[in-house]
Amino acid sequence: MKNSKQTPYAVEMLQVVKRFSQVLAVDHADLQVKQGEVHAVIGENGAGKSTLMRLLYGFYTADSGTIRINGETVKMTDPGVAIAHGIGMVHQEFMLVPRLNALDNIILGQEPRKGLRVDRQKAREEITRLAGELGFQVDLQAEVRDLPVGVQQKIELLKVLYRGASILILDEPTAVLTPQEVDELFQMLRNLQKQGKTIILITHKLDEVMAIADRVTVMRRGKTVKTVPKDSTTSGELASLMVGRNVILDIKPPPVKPGERVLTVRNLSLQEPGSARVLVDGVSFEVREGEILGIAGVSGNGQSELAELLTGLTRPTSGEILIRGQEVTFGSVRRKRESGIAHIPEDRRNTGLVMALSVEDNLTIGHQDKPELSGKVLLKREAIGERSDRLIKMFDIRPPRRDVAAWHLSGGNQQKVIVARELDHDPQVLVANQPTRGLDVAAMEYVYHHLLEARNQGKAIVLISMELDEILTLSDRILVMYNGRIVGEFARKNADIEQIGLLMLQGREAG
């Protein structure tokens, strides 16, 4: 409730909801930001931070909920409204027109005029003054696309200040910066705070929160989980709030005694072509029969690349991959499949299925060379049909028809098609990358059931997931990946959520 004697919150978002067609991105979120504070909003990728901020900025319109700016209820229908209320935003993906120069980018939408003309002279003077106050210079004539990202970010900041914003939203501003640039940015933010600006800083790095924030709001799966003053919390607490522990499914895998070593990975590395960036950095591990090895991590830390290396979609820069002692490091996808590696890819719609083809064809791809399904020239359509019917029945694919195109199926049933196809290979190793992304609970349970069954039958499974819950539920052993490296290993019984959370978020355990 608003109290007229107190200073109102700079920003108050109450019970805000935003649904995109596929996902509920923001789910009854609350955010209260005090005037003049640096307020961090943290959460994993996909938690809904950017969407929440874009609602505040009027870039999207909320389905329901209230937004108040300095105590006044505002209908945020358009960024113009937000700008008029003194809100400015530096977006995660920079909002710059690459082929316009810095000056035009800054003034766009708020152009000073002289008659019909844009008064660029006046704009230049004003912006130069602003930049001077912040302590830097930019070449206003340069086309933005020719400027380094650090400079582009300064242009974004100038854009916001040029509009006289008093509430600044910065969406993951440090993601693109070098450590020195981060220090510089934070210094600048502290100065702005001294000038009385309110700053909302989005990040998923805990060090940064500890370095600059006054208060922190944690988001998880579209919800705002908690708001705490920085001084009364620890990195550890924030980490476990971020990665959370929602017991969605009560699954207790029966103990299985792991058998022989199936997959061995030694010192596997991948360097980004044409750059010095190392995406996968000296990764080594083993997986045994009847074992699920979970790989935890915040997305973008090399997990996808690791999956591609294991399945032959990409070739490593160095290292070895062995199946039962046989080297398959540089094998093609086909060779790897033949040696017993199956793959549930993270991108169901683009890598997993050919959406326009029928369920039958999708079940057959990758099996088309088997003698029972194909002659020398022609496919044995009858045998293919029988096999499809069998798999559709076994995996309960709905609708139970082999002739419908894959894109008619729900996400869960699409995933069943992939799981059926991959397990029908009778693989030695199954690489499952985000196997339940975007699925509802029933479909999720179904996938879990099949993964566990494969494990109980003695298959070796590498489970990659951004959902720590999923990893904790299914894995016999857990590795944590950070910046392309394995930074921690836990047996199921010693898995500690706070420790794992810290490793995922900052690569080391100490706060």
Partner 1 sequence: MSLGNVFNLTLLHQTIVQATPLLLTALGGVFSERSGTANIALEGIIMMGAFFGYAGTYYTGNPWFGIICAMAAGVVVSLIHAVVTATYKVDHIVSGIALNILCQGLTGYLLVVLFQSQGSAREFVAQLPTISIPFLKAIPVVGPVLDAVFSQGPLVYLAFILVIVSRFILDKTVFGLRFTSVGEAPQVADSLGVQVAPIQYAGVLISGLLAGAAGAQLTIGTMPRFVYLMSGGRGYIALAAVILGKWQPTGVMWSSLLFGFFFSLADNLQGTGFAIPNEIFLMLPFILTIIVVSGVIGHSEGPAHAGKPYVKEL
Nearer to Mg ion, 92 or 314 (CB): 92
Report the b/e string of 275-314 with b at 16+ CB within 10 A.
eeebbbbebebbbbbbbbbbbbbbeebbbbbbbbbbbbbb
| Contact of residue 48 among partner 1, Mg ion, ligand ADP, none (CB under 5-8 Å per partner type) | ligand ADP
Pairing mode of beta strands 167-171, 87-90: parallel
**Segment contacting partner 1 by CB under 8 A, of 97-105, 205-213, 267-275, 324-332:** 97-105
Subset of residues 426 to 485 that bind partner 1, contact rule: CB under 8 A = none
430 and 459 Cβ atoms separated by less than 8 Å: yes
Least distance in angstroms from the C-beta of 172 to Mg ion: 6
Measure the CA–CA gap between 363 and 510, rounded to whole angstroms.
47
For 407-453, the three-class secondary structure string (H helix, E strand, C coil) is: HHCCHHHHHHHHHHHHHCCCCCEEEEECCCCCCCHHHHHHHHHHHHH
Which of residues 49 and 387 has its CB atom nearest to ligand ADP in the complex?
49
Q: Quick check: 188 binds ligand ADP (CB under 6 A)?
A: no
Q: Which is nearer to ligand ADP, 56 or 454 (CB)?
A: 56
Is residue 9 close enough to count as binding partner 1 by CB under 8 A? no
DSSP reduced 3-state for 21? coil
Q: What phi and psi values does residue 358 have, to the nearest 5 degrees?
A: -70, 165
Is residue 296 within 8 Å of 479, Cβ to Cβ?
yes
Contact between 136 and ligand ADP per CB under 6 A: no
Structure tokens, 403 = 């002739």
Instruction: Give the C-alpha separation, 323 to 459, whole Å.
Output: 12
| 78 touches partner 1 (CB under 8 A) | yes
* Shortest spacing between CB 411 and partner 1, in angstroms: 14
Q: H or E stretch including 333?
A: helix 333-338
Which residue in 9, 57, 448, 482 binds partner 1 (CB under 8 A)? 57
Indicate which of partner 1, ligand ADP, Mg ion, none lies near residue 267 (CB less than 5 to 8 Å, by partner kind): none
Decide which of ligand ADP, Mg ion, partner 1, none touches 45; Cβ closer than 5 to 8 Å per partner kind: ligand ADP
Query: In the complex with ligand ADP, which residue's Cβ is closer, 56 or 406?
Result: 56
- Residue 108 engages partner 1 in binding (rule: CB under 8 A): yes
118 binding partner 1? (CB under 8 A): yes
Name the nearest CA neighbour of 68 among 76, 59, 79, 77: 76
Residue 59 makes contact with partner 1 by CB under 8 A: yes
Q: Is 50 in the site for Mg ion (CB under 5 A)?
A: yes
Tokens of 470: 């999923």
Matching residue, tokens 């290979």: 425
Q: Which is nearer to Mg ion, 92 or 351 (CB)?
A: 92
Q: Give me the half-sphere count of Cα atoms (radius 13 Å) on the Cβ side of residue 81.
A: 18
Identity of the residue, 78 or 260, whose beta carbon is nearer to partner 1 in the bound complex: 78
* Rounded CA separation 459/452 (Å): 9
Q: Which is nearer to partner 1, 123 or 185 (CB)?
A: 123
**CA distance linking residue 368 with residue 352, whole number of Å:** 16
Q: Which span (107-115, 277-285, 333-341, 442-450) binds partner 1, by CB under 8 A? A: 107-115
Give me 106's structure tokens: 């800054």
Burial of 228 (0-12, 13-18, 19+ CB in 10 A): middle
Contact assessment for residue 167 and residue 86, using Cβ atoms and an 8 Å cutoff: yes
- Is there binding between residue 173 and ligand ADP (CB under 6 A)? no
d(CA 463, CA 474): 9
Q: Would you say 82 or 182 has its CB closer to partner 1? A: 82
Q: Identify residues 2-31 at the interface with ligand ADP (CB under 6 A).
A: 20, 23, 25
Secondary structure tally for the chain: helices H, strands E: 16, 22
* Site for partner 1 contains 20 (CB under 8 A): yes
Question: Binding to ligand ADP by residue 297, rule CB under 6 A?
Answer: no
Crossing angle between the packed helical segments 120-134 and 149-162, to the nearest 10 degrees: 110
Q: To the nearest whole angstrom, how small is the minimum distance from the Cβ of residue 36 to ligand ADP? A: 25
- 172 forms part of the interface with partner 1 (CB under 8 A): no
Determine contact, residues 339/429, Cβ cutoff 8 Å: no
DSSP SS3 for 431: strand
Q: Residue type for 27, please?
A: D
Binding mask 38-77 for ligand ADP (x = CB under 6 A): -----x-xxxxxxx--------------------------
The CB-of-107 to partner 1 minimum distance in angstroms stands at 8
99 interface partner picked from ligand ADP, partner 1, Mg ion, none, CB below 5 to 8 A per type:
partner 1
Q: How far apart are CA 482 and CA 185, in angstroms?
A: 24
Which residues ranging from 85 to 104 are in contact with Mg ion (CB under 5 A)? 92
- Minimum distance from residue 176 beta carbon to Mg ion (Å): 13
Binding footprint of partner 1, residue count (CB under 8 A): 32
502 HSE (CA, 13 A, CB side): 13
Interface with partner 1, residue 143, by CB under 8 A: no
Residue number with CB closer to ligand ADP (204 or 402): 204
Query: Is residue 374 helix, strand or coil?
Result: strand
Q: Work out what residue 398 binds among ligand ADP, Mg ion, partner 1, none; the CB cut-off runs from 5 to 8 Å by kind.
A: none
Residue ranges binding ligand ADP (CB under 6 A): 20, 23, 25, 43, 45-51
Residue ranges binding partner 1 (CB under 8 A): 20-22, 57, 59-60, 78-83, 89, 91, 95-100, 104-105, 107-111, 113, 116-118, 159
Residue ranges binding Mg ion (CB under 5 A): 50, 92
